[in-house]
Amino acid sequence: MFESKDKKGLLPVGFIGLGKYLPEKVLTNHDLERMVDTSDEWIATRTGIKERRVVSNGMVTSDLGARASEAAIARAGLRPEEVDLIVVATITPDMPFPATSCLIQEKLGAKRAACFDVSAACSGFIHALTIAKQFIAAGTYKNALVVGAETLSTIVDWKDRNTCVLFGDGAGAAVMAPVSEGGILSTYLGSDGGYGELLMIPGGGARFPASEKTIREGLHYMRMNGGEVFKLAVRAMTESVERIVRENGFTMDQITCLIPHQANVRIIEAMAERLGYPLSKIYLNLNRYGNMSSASTVTALCEAVEEGRVKRGDLVVLVAVGGGLVWGSCLVRW
């Protein structure tokens, strides 16, 4: 390794391998027209989403996460047994415990890794990479596998048109390690628990343990106040981008590519307008996948790199907001 520590004695950390896995089954807006009272036109104009992927044949979150991880580890030039740390962000773990990171570890054969999960909804990948970065920068671990993996199709009420049209399943993964050039320049995280009830699954935890009543009342499904979340999402994402760019001494015109959480194209357009940033420099894949919560930002980053939208030396900003509320951003020199 030839990277040198900064003034605080920390190593520069970057992404050395990215991967993604999307389940094969495609659910289009036209398919949804046959399930709830909606239309392709309504979904496309209100959200920008045309189709999403959903799991089938018993596939679960750890399966998606493991496949994305295999791709990321291979691109990083590592073997699974060389992975030191696995951090998985998910709101759809295979089960309450063991952690999905442990299940992915087993599927990968990453026997040496320490594992834990992070619960930060749609900002999960940014939260998870922020944690992993500290361990690597301090020299505690040589590398980390950070995964965003979701099977949101298992927590949406397929009879509720307000929510079921918005979400999809998928996974993305990133291997992080010390780098000799560029890397993560800064991360920023924020939260406001006062908005918790706007986006939640009320049942299935200690407050309303699974029972015949919770099932009858649909408390195990995702609930959302879409209008309020929309406004807060625009504000939180705009502020998170402005802050990380300004505090690191840059201006928006120096940012080559902005990779936002992929919830609704109208949220992204409103953010772009407030930032005075061209939509053409914002990476979008929500038309194909919908909102995949913690998997959205990392999958978008992976595709932006695969498609040559992000190249060596570019300045890239990742930004996300999710239930909690939680939000965060990450500034990377690619």
Alpha-carbon gap, residue 211 to 227, rounded angstroms: 30
- Centre a 10 Å sphere on the Cβ of residue 304 and count the other Cβ atoms it contains: 25
Cross-strand bridge partners of residue 15 = 176
Annotated catalytic residue: which of 102, 122, 164, 257? 122
Annotated catalytic residue: which of 102, 164, 261, 264? 261
Using CB under 6 A as the binding rule, whether residue 263 contacts ligand COA is answered as: yes
Helix (H) or strand (E) holding 315: strand 315-322
Beta strands 85-89 and 114-118, pairing class: parallel
Beta strands 85-89 and 144-151, pairing class: parallel
Using CB under 6 A as the binding rule, whether residue 42 contacts ligand COA is answered as: yes
Three-class DSSP category at 288: helix
285 noted as active-site residue: no
Q: Closest-CB residue for ligand COA?
A: 226
291 noted as active-site residue: yes
Least distance to ligand COA from the beta carbon of 246, Å?
Answer: 24
User: Which tokens sit at 145?
Assistant: 């596998």
Three-class DSSP category at 86: strand
Contact 138, 10 (CB under 8 A): yes
| The only residue of 233, 258, 292, 332 in contact with ligand COA, by rule CB under 6 A | 233
Alpha-carbon gap, residue 23 to 291, rounded angstroms: 14
Using CB under 6 A as the binding rule, whether residue 285 contacts ligand COA is answered as: no
Q: Which stretch binds ligand COA (CB under 6 A): 41-49, 57-65, 203-211, 249-257?
A: 41-49
162 noted as active-site residue: no
Using CB under 6 A as the binding rule, whether residue 226 contacts ligand COA is answered as: yes
| The only residue of 9, 58, 193, 227 in contact with ligand COA, by rule CB under 6 A | 227
Which are the catalytic amino acids?
Answer: 122, 261, 291
Chain residues in the site for ligand COA (CB under 6 A): 38, 42-43, 46-47, 122, 161-162, 165, 224, 226-227, 229-230, 233, 263-264, 291, 321-322
